[in-house]
Amino acid sequence: MAAPPPVKNLSLTLLLLMLFVCSCLALADHRPSEFSIVGYSEDDLTSHDKLIELFERFMAKYKKAYSSFEEKLKRFEVFKDNLNHIDDQNKKVSSYWLGLNEFADLTHDEFKSTYLGLSPARRNSGDDSGDEDGGVFRYDDVDVSSLPKEVDWRKKNAVTDVKNQGQCGSCWAFSTVAAVEGINAIVTGNLTSLSEQELIDCSTDGNNGCNGGLMDYAFSYIAANGGLHTEESYPYLMEEGTCRRSSSEGDDDEPAAAAVTISGYEDVPRNNEQALIKALAHQPVSVAIEASGRNFQFYSGGVFDGPCGTRLDHGVTAVGYGTATKGHDYIIVKNSWGSHWGEKGYIRMRRGTSKHEGLCGINKMASYPTKNA
Ligand SMILES: *[C@@H]1O[C@H](CO)[C@@H](O)[C@H](O)[C@H]1NC(C)=O
């Protein structure tokens, strides 16, 4: 924020403060959140003592412990650099804002190498035209004018709580599972949290555990192997393990019969936002995006509108769409970075950008599981 002019009395200070708060509220839905950098003065960002205080509070809030004093110093430097980035960007962007979160002690490279995990091998890459566009798209005939203005599958009890992939490039498994949980809830009325770990351990044909994968390969695995177990019976380990389902009957280690089945999956026609919205009006949809932009690391709220490219590196799940108060159309996206990131673990991403790939390439590689009633 710009350095405030020297003020001579308290009431003027208060007035300025109120003006500042009000203009922020007008700018975005409700901009400052607890522990956001928004609201800190220039002083806070230049005074060494204030910065140390801020860092200590950050460490306490996210239960950070560093192995040595040197490490702590190093992390403090990274933290300050991130803080400057957040402050700088918050002055430039208007429809969303950045804030400190648990990733604030990671350099951007560290972050990118740890928390993503999409390997768009066979599908996508954008250059080849691909052959999937000839596939079945069951929502093709849907009349766009008949679609609701907004859809939020969270409100229809079709979305489980936000999960956390942690330091494992398993986003593809989380994206897959959220879409399967969604169609299962819609078809059966039973919202059950399902196992990402099973996909990491067992869906190895095309997928690579903590080193990346693709949602379509995972859908294919679930359809071909009799379904997916519950999260409870096959919990997340944040690392690759041995597949606990065997073809032989009676394996002691094998969890009970798979809980949820799907019939198959379909791809949303590429680079076609209207098709994505048609599908999304009917069920949560797995989407791939480029999430390696630095602002993604610190997204804290609002309708995100970049900057980002379209080189897909992260799998997430679209769970709705709508229009914000300022008229920005968005897609609601469930991420797998825990509930402290973004809007309680979600990000609203701008749609209707006129780029056919969509913001961060979100229209490029969408797909969804199918399930017969
Ligand atoms: C929902 O599905 C899960 C997994 O199949 C099952 O354990 C649970 O009993 C079901 N709940 C209801 C209310 O049917």
Nearest CA owner, ligand 1 atom 5: 259
Q: How high is the pLDDT of residue 224?
A: 95
pLDDT-based confidence at residue 35 (cuts at 50, 70, 90) = very low
157 lines ligand 1 (CB under 6 A): no
Question: Using CA atoms, how far apart are residues 190 and 198, in angstroms rounded to an integer?
Answer: 20
Active-site hit among 207, 272, 335, 363: 335
User: What residue owns the CA closest to ligand 1's atom 11?
Assistant: 190
Q: What is the pLDDT of residue 110?
A: 94
Asked if residue 194 has its Cβ within 6 Å of ligand 1, the reply is: no
Q: Would residue 24 show up in a list of annotated catalytic residues for this protein?
A: no
How does residue 42 score in pLDDT terms, banded at 50, 70 and 90? Answer: low
> What is the spatial distance between Cα 30 and Cα 256, in angstroms, rounded to a whole number?
46
Check whether 10 has a pLDDT greater than 60: no
Q: What is the CA radius of gyration of the chain?
A: 22
Per-residue pLDDT, averaged over 301-324, amounts to 96
* pLDDT above 70 (res 297): yes
Among 168, 314, 360, 363, the active-site one is 314
Model confidence at 19: pLDDT above 60: no
Q: Is 296 exposed, middle or buried (0-12, 13-18, 19+ CB in 10 A)?
A: buried
- Find the 285 Cα to ligand 1 centroid distance in Å: 22
Q: Are 176 and 163 in contact (CB under 8 A)?
A: no
User: 351 with 211: CB under 8 angstroms?
Assistant: no
Task: List pLDDT tens digits, range 90-130.
Answer: 999 989 999 999 999 999 999 998 888 898 665 444 444 44
Arch. (CATH architecture) of 113-124+135-244+255-370: Alpha-Beta Complex (3.90)
Distance 190 CA to ligand 1 centre (A): 6
Q: Which of 304, 309, 30, 167 is nearest to 39 (CA)?
A: 30
Residue 197: CB atoms within 10 Å? 24
The reply to whether 335 belongs to the active site is: yes
Distance CA 234, CA 280 (A): 28
**Rounded CA gap, 175 and 372, in Å?**
21
**pLDDT for position 253:** 64
Distances (CA, A) of 145 to 108, 149, 277: 42, 9, 12
Which listed residue (171, 202, 308, 360) is catalytic? Answer: 171
User: How is residue 31 written in tokens?
Assistant: 């901009």
CA of 259 to the centre of ligand 1 (A): 8
Q: For residue 26, is pLDDT > 90? A: no
State residue 116's pLDDT score: 87
Q: Measured from the CA of 259, which atom of ligand 1 is nearest?
A: 5
In this predicted structure, the answer to whether residue 25 has a pLDDT above a threshold of 60 is no
Instruction: Record the tokens describing residue 305, joined without a space.
Output: 């509108």
The string of DSSP codes covering 44-99 is HHH-HHHHHHHHHHHHHHTT---SSHHHHHHHHHHHHHHHHHHHHHHHH-SSEEE-
Is the pLDDT at 22 greater than 70, yes or no?
no
Which residue did the predictor score with more confidence, 4 or 346?
A: 346
Residue 230 CA: nearest ligand 1 atom is: 4
Does 258 sit in the ligand 1 pocket, CB within 6 Å?
no
Tell whether ligand 1 has an atom less than 6 A from the beta carbon of residue 259. Answer: yes
Looking at the chain, list the stretches that DSSP marks H as alpha helix, in order from N- to C-terminal side.
10-27, 42-46, 48-61, 69-92, 108-115, 171-188, 196-202, 215-224, 273-280, 294-298
Domain boundaries, the chain: 40-92, 113-124+135-244+255-370
Give the Cα separation of 22 and 25 in Å (integer). Answer: 5
Token code pair at residue 52: 């140390």
Which residue's CA is the closest to the ligand 1 atom numbered 9? 190
Task: Write down the pLDDT at residue 36.
Answer: 43
3-state class (DSSP) for residue 131 = coil
Neighbours of 24 (CB within 10 A): 16
Give residue-wise pLDDT tens across range 170-211.
999 999 999 999 999 999 999 999 999 999 999 999 999 999
pLDDT digits (tens, 9 = 90+) for 251-272: 556 677 788 999 999 999 999 9
Closest CA to 167 of 235, 115, 218, 233: 115
**Is the distance from the beta carbon of residue 230 to the nearest atom of ligand 1 less than 6 Å?**
yes
Q: Is there a catalytic annotation at residue 272?
A: no
Compute the distance from residue 235 Cα to the ligand 1 centre, in Å: 17
